[in-house]
């Protein structure tokens, strides 16, 4: 796995990011979003999206329609479209929520998007041409707490949601008059709006930071604050019996995850490095290790012991002691697919609290760094 490409975008934490070819939009923990265009040697600030009154929590760039959707702690969302003169115009979205919006994602067909919120609901938004605004319908029951993450099924109808009530759920977001009746899936065939197709918990009491459908849509992965990554597989015989496999991250919790293919998952979070979770037999899953080659430069146990003795006797530390052996120097907030197909990701990107955006090459045959060495 070649060295990642690291971009120091800002000195502030980056809460979310999204790419569209040579353009990058980031949320630098402020009320505004920034659009950068990649030149010959660096990223150049192209535009700033101003309109929110509070911190932007999530953002998504629709590559086909060239539209950007943002959501914020101000309980609002905007759909930004680029005018012929190059300026970006916000479109009105009627979310009808009374708490902060926490997460937003376009559907695969880019004809609707979903917004998670602290109102214990998910707003599924669609465009009304007669009124020239984006209206919404709410997925509510049986959500009992803030929704923290979302992911769309490839069929453009099913929607996964992870929330602080320690549950990951699969809902139907079918909107009559907009969506075509989807083909039956392992999640069910009767899909009126707000149908709960499945509900999972890892059984250990951690709220769900991230959810993601597999490329085929037949599996669901979710990451909990209890430092576990779970993979749910519905029964194919219609019995309603689901298989749930949970693995420990062996370190700190993950905040975001993606499927690189049907057998490999890349997750990242408080450990500051992307982790590889994979299966060899489609049944048993394991955390193979870190994809950050910087972590191979670990220190031997004897040198660590000598360093602690020096610190104890002198009461001093060096500046190098605060530098992590990772590309990111703080928590990774989000991981996104950068290039490749849904079932064969070749590159992915990450953003973090350190203000960096990093591009990683993914090789399915890459041998991850053993996490046991990271305990030193």
Handedness of CA 372, 373, 374, 375 (dihedral sign): positive
The separation between the first and the last C-alpha atoms of the chain, rounded to the nearest angstrom, is 23
What pLDDT does 41 receive? 67
At 95, list the tokens.
């979310």
CA distance 245 to 260: 18
Look at residue 107 and tell me whether its pLDDT is greater than 60. Answer: yes
Q: pLDDT tens, 222-279?
A: 999 999 999 999 876 655 567 889 998 768 999 999 999 999 999 999 999 999 999 9
* DSSP class per residue in 73-85: TTS-EEEEEE-TT
Which residues have C-beta within 8 Å of that of residue 320, sequence separation ≥ 6?
none
Query: Between β-strands 122-128 and 112-117, what pairing exists: parallel, antiparallel or unpaired?
Result: antiparallel
CA distance 67 to 58: 14
What pLDDT does 277 receive? 96
How many Cα atoms occupy the beta-carbon half-sphere of 248 within 13 Å?
5
Helix (H, G, I), strand (E, B) or coil at 236: coil
pTM above 0.95, yes or no: no
What pLDDT does 376 receive? 33
CA distance 181 to 112: 16
Q: pLDDT tens, 108-163?
A: 999 999 999 999 999 999 999 999 999 999 999 999 999 999 999 999 999 999 99
Largest Cα span, the chain: 75
Domain range annotation of the chain: 5-375
Q: What residue spans of the chain are helical by DSSP H?
A: 301-314
Look at residue 17 and tell me whether its pLDDT is greater than 90. Answer: yes
Helix (H, G, I), strand (E, B) or coil at 352: strand
Q: Which letter, b or e, does each residue of 25-54 get, where b requires 16 or more Cβ atoms within 10 Å of its Cβ?
A: bbbbbbbebbbbeeeeeebeeebebebbee
- Angle, CA of 160, 162 and 165, to the nearest 5°: 135
CA distance 48 to 38: 15
Contact 95, 125 (CB under 8 A): yes
Look at residue 299 and tell me whether its pLDDT is greater than 80. Answer: no
- Angle, CA of 100, 105 and 111, to the nearest 5°: 120
What pLDDT does 205 receive? 78
What pLDDT does 228 receive? 94
Residue 351's nearest CA partner among 127, 29, 132 is: 29
- Angle, CA of 177, 159 and 220, to the nearest 5°: 150
CA distance 295 to 373: 9
Query: In angstroms, what is the C-alpha Rg of the chain?
Result: 21
User: The sheet that has 147-152: what strands, in order across it?
Assistant: 147-152, 158-163, 168-172, 196-200
Give me the phi and psi of 230, to 5 degrees please. -115, 145
CA distance 256 to 268: 6
What pLDDT does 241 receive? 65
Residue 205's nearest CA partner among 221, 227, 233 is: 227
Q: Which letter, b or e, does each residue of 216-232 get, where b requires 16 or more Cβ atoms within 10 Å of its Cβ?
A: ebbbbbbbbbbbbbbbb
What pLDDT does 237 receive? 63
What pLDDT does 367 receive? 62
Residue 161's nearest CA partner among 192, 108, 115, 107 is: 115
Handedness of CA 339, 270, 324, 286 (dihedral sign): negative
Look at residue 332 and tell me whether its pLDDT is greater than 80. Answer: yes
What pLDDT does 272 receive? 95
Helix (H, G, I), strand (E, B) or coil at 309: helix
- What CATH number has the domain spanning 5-375? 2.130.10.10
Look at residue 373 and tell me whether its pLDDT is greater than 50. Answer: no
CA distance 68 to 294: 34
Helix (H, G, I), strand (E, B) or coil at 302: helix
Q: pLDDT tens, 53-67?
A: 999 999 999 999 999
Residue 116's nearest CA partner among 101, 106, 99 is: 101
> What's the mean pLDDT when you consider all of the chain?
89
């Amino acid at each position: 796995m070649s060295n990642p490409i690291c971009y120091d975008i800002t000195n502030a934490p980056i809460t979310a990011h999204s790419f569209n070819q040579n353009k990058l939009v980031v949320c630098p923990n402020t009320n505004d979003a920034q659009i950068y265009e990649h030149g010959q040697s660096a990223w150049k600030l192209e535009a700033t999206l101003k309109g929110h009154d509070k911190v932007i929590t999530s953002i998504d760039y629709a590559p086909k329609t060239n539209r950007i959707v943002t959501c914020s702690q101000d309980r609002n969302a905007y759909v930004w479209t680029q005018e012929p003169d190059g300026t970006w115009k916000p479109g009105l979205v009627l979310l009808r929520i009374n708490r902060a919006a926490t997460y937003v994602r376009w559907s695969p067909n880019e004809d609707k998007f979903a917004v998670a919120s602290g109102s214990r609901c998910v707003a599924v938004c669609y465009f009304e041409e007669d009124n020239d605004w984006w209206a919404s319908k709410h997925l509510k029951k049986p959500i009992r707490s803030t929704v923290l993450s979302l992911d769309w099924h490839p069929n453009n109808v099913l929607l996964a949601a992870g929330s602080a009530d320690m549950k990951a759920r699969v809902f139907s977001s079918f909107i009559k008059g907009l969506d075509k009746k989807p083909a039956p899936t392992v999640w069910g065939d009767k899909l009126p709006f707000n149908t709960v197709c499945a509900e999972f918990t890892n059984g250990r009491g951690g709220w769900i930071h991230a959810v993601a459908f597999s490329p085929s849509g037949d599996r669901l992965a979710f990451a909990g604050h209890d430092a576990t990554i779970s993979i749910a597989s519905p029964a194919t015989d219609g019995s309603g019996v689901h298989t749930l496999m949970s693995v420990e991250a062996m370190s700190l919790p993950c905040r975001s995850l993606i499927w690189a293919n049907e057998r490999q998952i890349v997750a990242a979070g408080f450990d500051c490095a992307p982790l590889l979770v994979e299966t060899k037999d489609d049944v048993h899953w394991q955390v193979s290790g870190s994809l950050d080659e910087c972590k191979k430069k670990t220190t031997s146990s004897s040198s660590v012991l000598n360093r602690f003795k020096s610190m104890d006797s002198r009461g001093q530390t060096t500046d190098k002691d605060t530098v992590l052996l990772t590309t990111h120097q703080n928590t990774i907030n989000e991981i996104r697919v950068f290039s490749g197909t849904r079932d064969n990701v070749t590159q992915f990107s990450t953003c973090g609290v350190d203000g960096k955006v990093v591009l990683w090459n993914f090789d399915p045959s890459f041998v991850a760094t053993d996490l046991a060495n990271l305990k030193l």
